[in-house]
Amino acid sequence: MIVELGAFALILALMLSAVQVAASAGGRIRGEASLRGAGEGASLGAFLCTAFAFGALMYAFVTSDFSVANVAENSHTEKPMLYKVAAVWGSHEGSMMLWNLALTGFGAAVAIFGRGLPHGLKSLTVASQGALQLLFIGYTVLASNPFVRLTQVPVEGNSLNPVLQDPLLAIHPPFLYVGYVGFSVVFSFAIAALIEGRVDAAWARWVRPWTLAAWSLLTVGITLGSFWAYYELGWGGWWFWDPVENASFMPWLAGTALLHSAIVTEKRGALGGWTVFLALTAFGFSMLGGFLVRSGVLTSVHAFAVDPKRGVLLLIILGVAAGSGFGLFAWRAPKLAPGGVFSPVSREGTLVLNNLFLAACAATVCLGTLYPLIREALTGEPISVGPPYFLLTFGPLMAACMLLVPLGPLLPWKRADLLTALKRLWPAAAVGVAAALYGLFLIAPGKVGAAFALFLGGWLVVGGLIELAQRAKVGSLSPGMSLRRLAGLPRGAWGMTLAHIGLGVFVLGAGVENAAKIEAAAIMQTGQQLKVGAYTLTMQGVDVLEGPNYTAERAKLSVAGPGVRDMTITPERRTYPASRQTTSQVALERRGVSDLYVVLGEARNGAWTVRAFWNPWARLIFLGPFLMALGGVISLSDRRLRLGVAMRRTAPMAAEPAE
């Protein structure tokens, strides 16, 4: 009965979304507060119904109700409870339920927390969000219903893909999806602004907190997914330019550009049209990612489905939603009022250049992701675009963007002196050069790319600290006064600086790990040794163990090396009888910010294949993005950002120029 109630609740959410669109749009057209209120109430009701439906689906998984087709295909009675819960969003149908839950949740959040929004802008935003809900909930009900019953109930389920049975997979998708779908609010704000003609400083300030929330969550989601791939898949790497990885990276790049562009629109009233375009693009990329993962056009460990019919429907949804948004933009954008004038050498100019590089990066990733699919569809010839393409195209563009990051906050608005700002950054340049020389001669001798990455990392980290020192007037005031100024800085300033420092930390880790990584492999019997970097591994033996829903071969390897005393690591090779699949459980030993990474392979005549990696500074790769996300959360907690500009008068869309 609970499953049927969940199915009914999902249909009711679809109907309430239709009411949300009609009442909110009608309230805006007729200027009636009662209709606007009805639309907002319908938004909250759609969220509650979707939440109930999601809870009903989770109940079916927790109780192993194999009469539900989705449960039978993705769960098993012997699976631990954590993975029964995670299986809710481990399938195509369940992932769409999570998407809809986030989508309706953001719609309800706009209705509840947007009290200071102008009535017309809020009504149209709620209506636009409702239209998106209609598309995606309608798709779920009609083509991807997770509540379908089986006529013949199996005794046991098929279980979830073993590589997805991991603690991080219980939290990675929710962060990723909420980040993805968070940009839907920005998309809806853009649609409402184009209709209302409120693409101005006040609108940009309303958009920023929603963008910041989505960007921060997406950053966490991508980082968790990267760390999961790092230790679960046993490939020894953390980013593979997999098309589905790229699908999450593209909205992140567009969202990063949007954050910076919205600052210019808010502070100077400029780049209004560009900011709207980025708002539409960010969620457009999110929908593109949803299509890639669920259409069957990709073969990936991340992909959910191989059903071309559902893929076509998702492509139609993408075309309708994105096409309507960009069509409206093409119609209304030429009438937008021009923004403020500024010199190329100014904070605005730096942010514009930053945006151009980020947009080019997103376009490069998009081209590298879609070109193989388009070529294969047209010619039938498969082609692979791998890391070399992205390193040669994306790498230089992002490096140029990073060079600008410490410079922008040190430049004043409207007009600036570039030489003065560069003089302030000489300590950052000095540290960067020292780090580059250290890398060139000691960490990765002769590798210029690693040296440049170390320069960029030092430049970003020290540049962020210099920006804080400039705000506190360190050296111009007494230490006590400088500390008081630091304590009084707005949280937004702290968040921005922490995000920039986090980017530098990531670059340091990625540069060193890529350049100085060491790999070794051998077929080992008991007593044999394998040397990787400064460490020596000795095989002590392999035991067979029984897990809750798997059997495992667990190797014991003693480790000898610098700073090591009586260390034993235990990589595993697991076999899941329910799905007849085998996975590797990596042994990951942290040494400072570096990792000793060991994978157990297949057995051959009483010996086992062992691969070992020494990954220097690898932990910085994951620490950096978390610092960036923390910076976003700190900025979001800034009271000035959350209050918005309810009382600020905003200029309407400019009329046609006078004769």
- Residue 477, both tokens: 């005031």
Give residues with Cβ within 8 angstroms of 606, minimum separation 6.
525
Provide long-range contacts, Cβ within 8 A and 24+ apart, for 59-66: 59/2, 59/3, 59/6, 60/2, 60/3, 60/6, 60/147, 61/85, 61/87, 61/88, 64/157, 65/3, 66/150, 66/153, 66/154, 66/155, 66/156, 66/157
Q: What is the predicted pLDDT for the residue at 640?
A: 66
Which regions of the chain are under pLDDT 50?
301-303, 644-659
* CA-to-CA dists, residue 417 to 323, 345, 464, 465, 536, angstroms: 42, 7, 19, 21, 56
Q: What is the predicted pLDDT for the residue at 539?
A: 94
Residue 569 bridge partners (DSSP): 557
Q: What DSSP element (H or E) covers 14?
A: helix 2-30
CA 517 – CA 595 distance, rounded (Å): 10
3-state helix, strand, coil in the chain (%, to 5): 65, 10, 25
Residue 525 bridge partners (DSSP): none
Q: What is the DSSP string of 555-622?
A: EEEEEESTT--SEEE--EEEEETTTTEEEEE-EEEEETTEEEEEEEEEEETTEEEEEEEEETTHHHHH
Q: What is the predicted pLDDT for the residue at 651?
A: 40
- Among candidates 462, 473, 500, which has minimal Cα distance to 635? 500
* CA-to-CA dists, residue 523 to 154, 536, 551, 601, 603, angstroms: 42, 15, 22, 9, 9
SS3 351: helix
CA 33 – CA 24 distance, rounded (Å): 9
Q: What is the predicted pLDDT for the residue at 489?
A: 85
Is the C-alpha dihedral spanning 333, 334, 336, 340 positive or negative?
positive
Instruction: Calculate helix-pair angle for 308-332, 172-196, nearest 10 degrees.
Output: 30
SS3 553: strand
- Among candidates 192, 146, 164, 175, which has minimal Cα distance to 28? 192
* CA-to-CA dists, residue 608 to 237, 489, 523, 545, 598, angstroms: 22, 58, 5, 16, 12
Q: Mean of the per-residue pLDDT values for the chain?
A: 88
Q: What is the predicted pLDDT for the residue at 341?
A: 73
Q: What is the predicted pLDDT for the residue at 649?
A: 40
Residue 585 bridge partners (DSSP): 572
CA 131 – CA 24 distance, rounded (Å): 11
Q: What is the predicted pLDDT for the residue at 224?
A: 93
Residue with tokens 């012997």: 78
- Residue 622, both tokens: 């994951």
CA 368 – CA 390 distance, rounded (Å): 7
Residue 586 · residue 234 · CB < 8 Å: yes
- Among candidates 223, 354, 27, which has minimal Cα distance to 623? 223
Q: Tens of pLDDT along 520-537?
A: 999 999 999 999 999 999
- Among candidates 54, 45, 53, which has minimal Cα distance to 107? 45
Residue with tokens 């910085």: 620
Residue 600 · residue 610 · CB < 8 Å: yes
User: Using only C-alpha atoms, what is the Rg of the chain?
Assistant: 27
Residue 328 · residue 188 · CB < 8 Å: no
**Domain positions in the chain:** 2-221+267-344, 425-516+619-628, 518-615
Residue 526 · residue 541 · CB < 8 Å: yes
CA 375 – CA 370 distance, rounded (Å): 9
CB-neighbour burial class of residue 5 (10 A; exposed 0-12, middle 13-18, buried 19+):
middle
Residue with tokens 């609108």: 203
CA 461 – CA 463 distance, rounded (Å): 5
Say what the alpha-carbon torsion angle 71, 74, 75, 81 is, to the nearest 10 degrees: -100
Give residues with Cβ within 8 angstroms of 457, minimum separation 6.
432, 435, 504, 505, 507, 508, 511
Q: What is the predicted pLDDT for the residue at 476?
A: 80
